[in-house]
Structure 1
């Protein structure tokens, strides 16, 4: 199916660098992106990180729960002059193919990727195949949910969590966000994480009456908790999936209007 966004005005709330990539895709499909980055991603450098790197060979598996985690992990490894070839001795799990793409950029690939790109499915499907896997290293961010740690604890699996990046709200975007919303010229709002939903909800002073597009069910859950309605969720939990979902929604709407 050929996708077109028909010049719809789509609010992109993603972190600035990734938001620009999202916006470029929206333009490619004839949409009009409006960028208001509500999050900032910063790699963290803690003394404990060096200890984790020194002990990598102690782990059987390393879990990457986002592409940001991959990038910051390897950035830290470079800073500490760590020979990452040691990862060849470990098995790697990635939450989705975008995370694996980031791994491939570093010369690695994942031995496990879930069929649905979220931590709940990752844990369920992983333990359906693998059992005796202690110990595990989880590479994550400051806002990561505790779904994987809880799954490991439930099964008495030893793990360490390595927090390699910080997600913070861009409160400096409050004026820009509300100015954009008050124009009344937004057709859709996109959210690519629960954090982006939370930040939007805390900063927006304008009632929202347009559909929102959530990258996956975890983000959708947060949106519902905060009172959002008319939520679209793609079959594939990626930015490309979001655009495809929007295109299908618009096509169906057009067919109904013409019918």
Structure 2
């Protein structure tokens, strides 16, 4: 394999588990990853979640808008000793390829996935294809946007939400982040708007290098907080596409 990221230093801000995979991909292209996780993920165990998960029969669709949502959902099913077979008559919608890959880890495939991996397109295309889908369960995190709930209300779709995970700022990594920012680096990467917000909370240094965002929503947030040079994939919002954005940027500059 060629090394188009040779000598490039890239700050990876994903949670620790996700950062390892991203860093490995960067290394395959010759780059050096500087891991500074800005967020931590925990799963939301409570009695309301237990009740909802024990009563899945009314739902015709389950919506997953992140891989973390899939992981949290099935982690809680296992914790509460609820059989995966309770999902056999429920159709599943996922926001994108990586979310479906996580779903397949648990033995399921998606029945619906939008052509562009974001909640806006997901809502538009799903409601066009399924104007009367029956009752829906939205699997979410504490920082999830309200696009799907708002669109379901407009379309008079019956739905419930279940918050299966929490995303928190990893404040213990403030010094680690600022040390990385002091050193010479080429790109900083963000996989969610919450990662951008965490950066702004923890950073003591001005923004002066390109940021690479996993998708349009994250890119929009980065621009809102002051990043002047933002790169993001056009449609497939994955870490592989983020790496291609960096390669294209380097090639165009040189």
Asked if 1 retains the 8 angstrom alpha-carbon contact of 2:38 and 2:170, the reply is yes
Give the match's secondary structure for 1:58. coil
Equivalence for 2:228: 229
Deviation at 1:127, TM superposition (A): 1.0
Give the match's secondary structure for 2:88. helix
Equivalence for 1:21: 21
Structure 1, unaligned stretches of length 5 or more?
255-259
Asked if 2 retains the 8 angstrom alpha-carbon contact of 1:3 and 1:248, the reply is no
- In the superposition, the TM-score normalised over structure 2's length comes to 0.97
Equivalence for 2:83: 83
Deviation at 1:70, TM superposition (A): 0.6
Equivalence for 2:159: 159
* Aligned counterparts of 1:55 and 1:222: Cα–Cα separation in 2: 37
Deviation at 1:55, TM superposition (A): 1.6
- In the superposition, the TM-score normalised over structure 1's length comes to 0.95
Deviation at 1:244, TM superposition (A): 1.1
Equivalence for 2:122: 122
1:144-167 alpha-carbon deviations (Å, 9 max, x no partner) = 101111110111111111100000
* Aligned counterparts of 1:229 and 1:46: Cα–Cα separation in 2: 42
* Aligned counterparts of 2:103 and 2:177: Cα–Cα separation in 1: 34
* Count of residues in Structure 1 that have an aligned counterpart in Structure 2: 253
Deviation at 1:3, TM superposition (A): 6.4
In angstroms, what is the RMSD of aligned CA positions? 1.2
* Aligned counterparts of 2:162 and 2:6: Cα–Cα separation in 1: 43
* Aligned counterparts of 2:19 and 2:61: Cα–Cα separation in 1: 31
1:176-233 alpha-carbon deviations (Å, 9 max, x no partner) = 11121112x1110000000000010111111121110000001011111111110001
Equivalence for 1:193: 192
Name which of structure 1's ranges 79-88 and 30-39 shifts more when overlaid on structure 2: 79-88
* Aligned counterparts of 1:134 and 1:3: Cα–Cα separation in 2: 50
1:230-254 alpha-carbon deviations (Å, 9 max, x no partner) = 0001122111110011111111222
